[in-house]
A and B are shown apart, each in its own frame.
Chain A
């Protein structure tokens, strides 16, 4: 016991050491670098790193160079909370991450208490509904994307009944809860409600169940790899119903992994590197050249997070956390002033993001955009 105590104290002393002053500004990224969210977190890491290098090459933020610090949450809310607490003790100008909605839930109170902007990647509907004035999204919450999908199912697909297949993690479950609510409001029947595992390989049973459900359309809300495996099995068993997805299902990565099984898939697309906007495609090429793979939308989120901070700091005119958070509320960032934002985007008082999005489908191994949905508010 006693040796342990001494040891413990030695750490304690280490922890209490004052932080060294730095001439660059350090921005902590508390993200999922290992555990279940490792893919997501590494995309964010690479995207934000790319943006930070560009910004530094162009002179930094308000004349100061920035340095991103990456801290692993191991996809665990307890560790995420510890990491965010540590980061806040050093009084950063803003906090980036986490991306898993559970970890965001566990940390949003801390950043609110510290009056520091938390620019995060969570998409669960309830995050911005908890009243924090310091939480900002980098992509649509499911409270925004799911109504768009539901409208699409009603107006374009003209479905009377929809089967839902989702991945059972906070991303998939949140989306499933949101879409089912929206479908009910539009009097569309839910013909099947299938949960699948993250990392699941064999979708034979799920496709059989979907065939039996006889729905007018199937809404597929899975992560990239599971989407690809699902599409292959669906093709194999000849599942001939419209497959509708949100962002991931139509992404280039799913198309690459699933091959021609992805053809004919339709749905709503938030911000991905396949969007028909030159700036976004240029970002995709830069990312590919630097890291040798194509980023998913989490790479885009990490990238624009840094530019959000830059634009907000420049609007506030100072590198002070509270002022930066205040500047982000009601801020519209346009690509002609801040090219790195890629598409014009606006943040409202709750930290919700608003920007254009797309309807598209997969044709001959390529994502084709059929319609551009305008911003919700002008």
Chain B
């Protein structure tokens, strides 16, 4: 039982990170039909913004974190929207998919060539303390990851549901044509989702890098996990992405312990296929009215 709890907590902490990446993934899809194959690299990159600020500019960690978030908003939010997505949005989904695949190569190789091919240690926001609760070892970092991730998610939900801009964004996501008729500044709302995605990616990056270590190739597994989480949860629901992310994190750990370590990656994917076949709208998704 203690083992099970241990796995559950570890899985939830990893899953919370996946959820952050999956939410952004879902938001981009909803508002601009962007399937972002570089989402994993978006989570990899902000840690390097922070590292550059610390090692090249000699800034303290707290400042570096702020710089990482701002740089992410500029590069992964604004520039991504204007330079990559905007020119392609009228061309249909496939050219944009190809472009994001190329972008993932660009970011990965760029970090490798400019910074380092080596894994880098990354400072943690939380002190290195391990608590023992009922035979379960829980590090403060794990608790911190869960708290910050859930805090971010709650804040996002509040923003989307309770503020005027948030509701306009939701309207844009559900039906841009109607939203435009109703006077919603659709273009600006789309830009906001890109900025939110960038902030979520930066949060995920700063939370996960102390555990994963910052490395140019981290995006490969993260991107896949976010993708799977988004589909499992329902591609059109922020809540779905959260559940999907947590589920993938937990299932991965349970699979490693109780199924087979060499096939641990297979279990979330089999779950994905089962969901597509039996509940294609995802766990929490609505049936989409429009033809996708």
Chain A residues engaging chain B, CB cutoff 8 angstroms: 34, 36, 38-39, 41-43, 168, 194-197, 199, 201-202, 204-206, 208-209, 212, 224-225, 228-229, 236-238, 253, 256-257, 259, 293
Question: Using Cβ atoms and an 8 Å threshold, which residues of chain B touch A43?
Answer: 117
**Contact A224–B261 (Cβ < 8 Å):** no
In the bound complex, CA of A195 to CA of B260 (Å): 9
B217 interface residue per 8 A CB criterion: yes
Distance between B144 CB and nearest chain A CB, rounded to angstroms: 14
The one of A197, A202, A257 that contacts B14, using a Cβ cutoff of 8 Å: A202
In the bound complex, CA of A208 to CA of B255 (Å): 13
Distance between B111 CB and nearest chain A CB, rounded to angstroms: 11
In the bound complex, CA of A238 to CA of B119 (Å): 25
User: B157-165, B183-191, B207-215: which lies at the A interface?
Assistant: B207-215
B256 interface residue per 8 A CB criterion: yes
Question: Using Cβ atoms and an 8 Å threshold, which residues of chain A touch B139?
Answer: 236
| Chain A residue at minimum C-beta to C-beta distance from B116 | A293
B175 interface residue per 8 A CB criterion: no
Question: Using Cβ atoms and an 8 Å threshold, which residues of chain A touch B213?
Answer: 225, 228-229, 257
**Contact A209–B137 (Cβ < 8 Å):** no
Central interface residue in A39, A41, A204, A256, by most chain B CB within 10 Å:
A204
Question: Using Cβ atoms and an 8 Å threshold, which residues of chain B touch A293?
Answer: 116, 118
**Contact B262–A205 (Cβ < 8 Å):** no
**Contact B117–A199 (Cβ < 8 Å):** no
In the bound complex, CA of A208 to CA of B257 (Å): 8
**Contact B6–A204 (Cβ < 8 Å):** yes
In the bound complex, CA of A209 to CA of B254 (Å): 11
**Contact A201–B119 (Cβ < 8 Å):** no
B48 interface residue per 8 A CB criterion: no
| Chain B residue at minimum C-beta to C-beta distance from A235 | B130
B151 interface residue per 8 A CB criterion: no
B264 interface residue per 8 A CB criterion: yes
A-contact bits for B120-138, CB 8 A (1 contact / 0 none):
0100000010100000010
Task: List B residues 186-230 near A (Cβ within 8 Å).
Answer: 208, 211-213, 215-218, 220-221
**Contact A236–B130 (Cβ < 8 Å):** yes
Question: Using Cβ atoms and an 8 Å threshold, which residues of chain A touch B130?
Answer: 236
B3 interface residue per 8 A CB criterion: yes
**Contact A225–B256 (Cβ < 8 Å):** no
Question: Using Cβ atoms and an 8 Å threshold, which residues of chain A touch B47?
Answer: none
In the bound complex, CA of A182 to CA of B128 (Å): 39
Task: List B residues 238-266 near A (Cβ within 8 Å).
Answer: 252-254, 256-257, 261-262, 264-265
The one of B116, B212, B261 that contacts A195, using a Cβ cutoff of 8 Å: B261
In the bound complex, CA of A34 to CA of B261 (Å): 26
In the bound complex, CA of A212 to CA of B7 (Å): 14
Question: Using Cβ atoms and an 8 Å threshold, which residues of chain B touch A224?
Answer: 119
The one of B112, B137, B212 that contacts A237, using a Cβ cutoff of 8 Å: B137
Distance between A157 CB and nearest chain B CB, rounded to angstroms: 24
**Contact A199–B261 (Cβ < 8 Å):** no
Q: List 14 A-B contacts (CB under 8 A).
A: A42-B118, A196-B261, A201-B212, A201-B221, A202-B11, A205-B7, A205-B253, A206-B256, A206-B261, A208-B3, A212-B3, A224-B119, A225-B213, A253-B118
In the bound complex, CA of A205 to CA of B6 (Å): 9
**Contact B256–A201 (Cβ < 8 Å):** no
Take A208-B6, A229-B213, A236-B137 as given contacts and tell me if A34 and B265 are in contact as well, using a CB distance cutoff of 8 Å.
no
Distance between A250 CB and nearest chain B CB, rounded to angstroms: 17
| Chain B residue at minimum C-beta to C-beta distance from A41 | B117
**Contact B264–A197 (Cβ < 8 Å):** yes
In the bound complex, CA of A43 to CA of B6 (Å): 37
**Contact B10–A204 (Cβ < 8 Å):** yes
Distance between A97 CB and nearest chain B CB, rounded to angstroms: 16
| Chain A residue at minimum C-beta to C-beta distance from B3 | A208
Question: Using Cβ atoms and an 8 Å threshold, which residues of chain A touch B10?
Answer: 202, 204-205
A-contact bits for B146-187, CB 8 A (1 contact / 0 none):
000000000000000000000000000000000000000000
Take A39-B117, A208-B3, A257-B213 as given contacts and tell me if A199 and B221 are in contact as well, using a CB distance cutoff of 8 Å.
yes
In the bound complex, CA of A24 to CA of B112 (Å): 30
Question: Using Cβ atoms and an 8 Å threshold, which residues of chain B touch A168?
Answer: 262
